[in-house]
Structure formats: C-alpha cells, structure tokens
Structure 1
Amino acid sequence: MQVDVYANLKQGERGVWVSIIAYVCCSLVKVGVALLAGSEALLADGLNNTTDVVASVAVLIGLRISRKPPDHDHPYGHLRAESISALVASFIMLAVGIEVLSRAISALFTPEMNAPDMLAGWTALATAAVMFGVYRYNRRLAQVTQSQGLMAAAADNRSDALVSVGTFVGVAGSQFQLHWLDPLTALVVGGIILRTAWSIFREAAHRLTDGFDRSELVALRSTIAEIPGVKDVTDIKARYHGSNVLVDVVIHVDPTLNVTESHTITEEIEARMKAVHNVKAVHIHIEPEGQSEH
C-alpha cells in the first residue's frame, strides 16, 4: 500500500510542475501586457496567476514532505503535509484576492477611464486556452493518483481558464464605450479568487480536523455489512490521512468461528473496501455476536 501511495504522490508532483510552469509564463505575459495596454482586468488576472504560482509551490512542497516515509516521531508517515500545503495556499490566495478587489474598486470609481488596448483581450483568451489544457491534464492525473493537492490544483486551473475568458469579455466590452466593464471584470476576478480560497481552506480544514462526509460513511458501512460472515456493524469511523482514507470498524461475527475463519472475513473486508471504495487501510475489531464491544 505504501508503495502505491508514494508512487501516486510522485506522479502528482509532475502535474504540479506543469501548473507552475504554465502559471509563471501566463502571469509574466499578462502583467506585462496589462501594464502596456492599461487593463485592470488583465492585471488582476495576472496577479491571480502569481498567487497560483506560490500556491502551487506550496502544494509541491507538501507533496514532497508527504513522500517521506514514517520515522520515529511520525509512525503514520507525513501524508497530512499535503492537506497543510493546501491550507497555506488558501491563505496566500485570500491575501491576493483582497488586493485585487481593492484595486478594482478604486478603478471602478475613477471618473475618467480609457478603454484598454484589445491586445489585453487576445492575451487573456490565449492564456485561457493554455490553462484549460493544463486543467484537463491535471484532472486526468488527479483521478489516477487520488491526490487532494492535485485535485485542488486542477480545480484552480479550470477557474483560472474561466477567469481569463471573463477578462476577454471585459476588455472587449470596454471597446464599445463600456469603460466600466474592465474594472468590473477585475472585481469579479477578485471575488472568484476569494471564493476559491475559501473552498480550498474549508476542505483542507475539514480533513485536518478528521471530518468525514456522513453519506460516504454510510456507503462504507453498507459495503461491509453485505460481506458474508458479518452479522452486524456496530461502529465505524473514517478519516483522511493526506489523500488516503483510514477506516476503523467494529463487526460482530458468529462466536463459534475459529481465528482462521474470522481472519478470512477480515481479509474479504479489506479486499472489498479496496475494490469498491479504493480504501487501502482498514482497522477491524471483531466481537462475538450477541456481545457488546469492549
């Protein structure tokens, strides 16, 4: 199991590197063109990409730390570093989102505004196509590796592509004397940054505090209860350790079963949980039917 986990983390790093390279190129181009073309929307979009660079680096560091094997004071390994890196990334995005909103509000109420050059719009559209390609690549890789950090990165890639499309619309609209549309688009971009930051923060905090979706827990219980030999499932808990799910369950079996027969049931539970729910770590406590757990 550990080999699979660390191999997935290594594959996840490849996706993060693709994001970092794309964000660095896009942010440099956008900020440069925005300053030349006088576009607040494209500048906000470019600043958004700079936060994505920092956030992606934080995710990369988290994945690197997560790959470290267990040691004397981390017997379960370092897999939760991935969730911590996502939490750090959300704080970085929050700070820049506030800055983008501040600049946009100031520009929105500026009495005289000139329409930005349409070069800003075409730049936004081109980078939107790039980020959508990165999103598709990372989404496929995240589905294979089941990496929380990479899944968050893929979602961010998609939102960035949509933000850039919105930037194009804002710049294009300003060409028709709708000068307020460019800073208004920047305002929307700032709101999207804050929303993404909150979403990443909420998910990371939920996992770090051992939160787990109730409906998923019900599904896990149902799978175990259907296994032959399991008379009852009296308690079940689950939590995330990085991108992995750890399950603790108490089952009741026929009290006349010997150790080997009981062990066969636990092996079937482990195999079924891995096949149906991709859960690779299950701690099973067996109790004789008719007795309460100790």
Structure 2
Amino acid sequence: MDQKYLDLKMGERGAILSIFVYICLSAFKLTVGYIANSEALQADGLNNTTDIIASIAVLIGLKISQRPADQDHPYGHWKAEPVASLVAAFIMVAVGLQVLYTAALSVFDRATEAPDPIAAWTGLFCAAVMYGVYRYNRRLAQKIRSQSVMAAAKDNLSDAWVSIGTAVGILGSQFGLPWLDPVAAVVVGLLICKTGWEIFREASHDLTDGYDENQLEVYKKSIFEIPGVKGIKTIRARKYGSSSVVDVVILVNSTLGIGAAHDISVDVEDALTKAHDVIEVHVHVEPNY
C-alpha cells in the first residue's frame, strides 16, 4: 500500500511537467503568432491554455488519491484519479470540437495574406517538445500504472498533433494551397475527439465498477493452483484508481476445521496480492459438499 502512495506521488511529476511546458509553449505561440500575423498559431497557443486546466485537474486528482481512508471514504480516495481522467477527457473533446468548428469556418475565410513562415517552424518545434513530454509521461504512467497520468500523456500527444496541423496549414498558405489548413484541422480535430472518447470510456468504465473479464480468469487460475481450493463459487473485482480489489467465494473440503479453512483463505489473499498486485482481497469460505 505504501508503494501505491509513492507511485501516486511520482505521478505528480508528469502533471507538473505538463503544466510547466504548457505555460511556456502557450506564451511562446501567442507571442510568435502575434508577431508573425498567424491566427492559426495564436489559436494553438490558446488551446494550450485550456490544457493547463486539464493538467491541473490531473495533479489535483493525484493528490486527492493519496489521502488515506477516513470516515466519509472508508475505501480511500483512489477514485479521484479516474475522475481527473474524466475532466481531462471532457476538455480534450471540447478542444477537438473547437478545432473542427474552426476548420469549418476557415472554408469560408477568404483571407489571402500568408503569415510569416517562422510561425510554421514554431509549430513544428512545439510539436517536437510536446512529443517528448508525451513519451516521458507515457513511460511514467506505464511504470506506476496510473490512469490519469496516461490520460495526460494522451493529451500531450493530441497537442503535438494540433501543432503539426497548424504548421501544415501555415506552410500550405505559403505555396498557395489554403485548402491544406482545413483538411489538416479536420484530421487533427477527429484525432483529438477520438482520444478524448477513449479516455472517457475507460474512466467511466472503472467508475461504474466495470472490470476486465480476462483478468478475472487470470485470478481464477492463480486461485485454483492453491492447495485446498476445490472450487470458486463467485469472483468479482473493481478498480480504485489504478488498483484492484477482489471479492471471491471459494469452496473447500467440508471436513476441514475453521483454522485450516482460514489458512487456505490467507493463501488466496497472498497469491493475489503478491502475484497480481491486488491491493485488497476479501475471501469468503464455503464447504464443498
């Protein structure tokens, strides 16, 4: 359990890094966009300001998840993490829809003045930076198995795509191909919405106590390997953030005493907590007639 709290503490690094980078890049894009007369780059900079809010939500979710169980939350505050992922998903979908809306408006925009090419290079540079942040957060999320940090990583990647789309549109205007801008924006907008939907689906699945059936079969296999277990009547599991809690009813020989049956239940608990990193196991023993 202590390691779980340390992992959440480590996850804060990813959120803090995202906040710092978003602040720097948004200021950079807005400044260069204004100087280079690029509305696309300025819009990209404003997009990053909304991502600051999403990263702050992830950071708050990680901090709340570290709180121990109390009278109002006897199971702990683990579910603050998927709630933070939901907030990030909503913001991503909102940004994706905004990108699509802007692309639709640009079709009717007859402006012909092309921005300075430096705006395109700025977009590509920012995309490279965001991709580096994405790689860092993705590795961190996989290491600590954090849903909210992975959501932040996917948000980082979507912003890299936005910057690439911005650069493509600006470069297209340099060569008299204004249609590249809305096409790139539509593709990027759809990618962002798709990523946001995937994060929302995963977080809402966990919050409604959904669980991977294949993982339950893995648990069953480990339980049946324990001497004395004659069968499994029921097995259920639910997620608390990135951690799992398992409830299982096992069948043992009806002639066993209470002490022997209890020892088998302890073996089941140890097997699941050590082999599968389950934080808590509730075992009920029934006789197998």
TM-score, normalization by structure 2: 0.91
Q: Residue in 2 aligned with 1:170?
A: 169
Secondary structure of the corresponding residue to residue 193 of structure 1 = helix
Is the 1:48–1:193 contact (alpha carbons within 8 Å) kept by the matching residues of 2?
Answer: no
Q: Residue in 2 aligned with 1:67?
A: 66
Is 1:55 aligned to 2:20, yes or no? no
Q: Residue in 2 aligned with 1:157?
A: 156
Secondary structure of the corresponding residue to residue 250 of structure 1 = strand
Separation in 1, partners of 2:43, 2:276: 41
Is the 1:142–1:151 contact (alpha carbons within 8 Å) kept by the matching residues of 2?
Answer: yes
User: CA distance change for structure 1 residues 166 and 268 in 2, over 3 Å: closer, same or farther?
Assistant: farther
Amino acid at match of 1:106: L
Separation in 1, partners of 2:147, 2:214: 19
Q: Residue in 1 aligned with 2:207?
A: 208
Is the 2:11–2:140 contact (alpha carbons within 8 Å) kept by the matching residues of 1?
Answer: yes
User: CA distance change for structure 1 residues 31 and 108 in 2, over 3 Å: closer, same or farther?
Assistant: farther
Secondary structure of the corresponding residue to residue 217 of structure 2 = helix
Is 1:238 aligned to 2:237, yes or no? yes
Separation in 2, partners of 1:103, 1:149: 28
Shift of 1:109: 2.0
Name structure 2 gaps, 5 residues minimum. Answer: none
User: CA distance change for structure 1 residues 219 and 42 in 2, over 3 Å: closer, same or farther?
Assistant: farther
Is the 1:166–1:185 contact (alpha carbons within 8 Å) kept by the matching residues of 2?
Answer: yes
TM-score, normalization by structure 1: 0.89
Q: Residue in 2 aligned with 1:95?
A: 94
Shift of 1:246: 1.0
Shift of 1:40: 4.9
What is the CA deviation profile of residues 34-62 of structure 1, one whole-angstrom value per residue up to 9, with x for unaligned ones?
Answer: 34334454344333322221111111111
Amino acid at match of 2:98: E
Separation in 2, partners of 1:41, 1:230: 64
Separation in 2, partners of 1:113, 1:285: 73
Secondary structure of the corresponding residue to residue 251 of structure 2 = strand
What is the CA deviation profile of residues 120-163 of structure 1, one whole-angstrom value per residue up to 9, with x for unaligned ones?
Answer: 22112211221122122212221222211111112222332233
Secondary structure of the corresponding residue to residue 28 of structure 2 = helix
Aligned CA-pair RMSD: 2.1
Separation in 1, partners of 2:185, 2:35: 17
Q: Residue in 2 aligned with 1:37?
A: 36
Is the 1:12–1:147 contact (alpha carbons within 8 Å) kept by the matching residues of 2?
Answer: yes
Separation in 2, partners of 1:99, 1:32: 21
- Between the aligned residues of both structures, percent identity stands at 55
Separation in 1, partners of 2:269, 2:115: 60
Separation in 2, partners of 1:270, 1:225: 13
Is the 1:86–1:204 contact (alpha carbons within 8 Å) kept by the matching residues of 2?
Answer: yes
Shift of 1:222: 2.2
Separation in 2, partners of 1:45, 1:187: 14
Q: Residue in 2 aligned with 1:251?
A: 250
Alignment of 1:1-294 (within 5 A): 1=1, 3-290=2-289
User: CA distance change for structure 1 residues 285 and 135 in 2, over 3 Å: closer, same or farther?
Assistant: same
Shift of 1:249: 0.8
Is the 1:48–1:97 contact (alpha carbons within 8 Å) kept by the matching residues of 2?
Answer: no
Shift of 1:187: 2.9
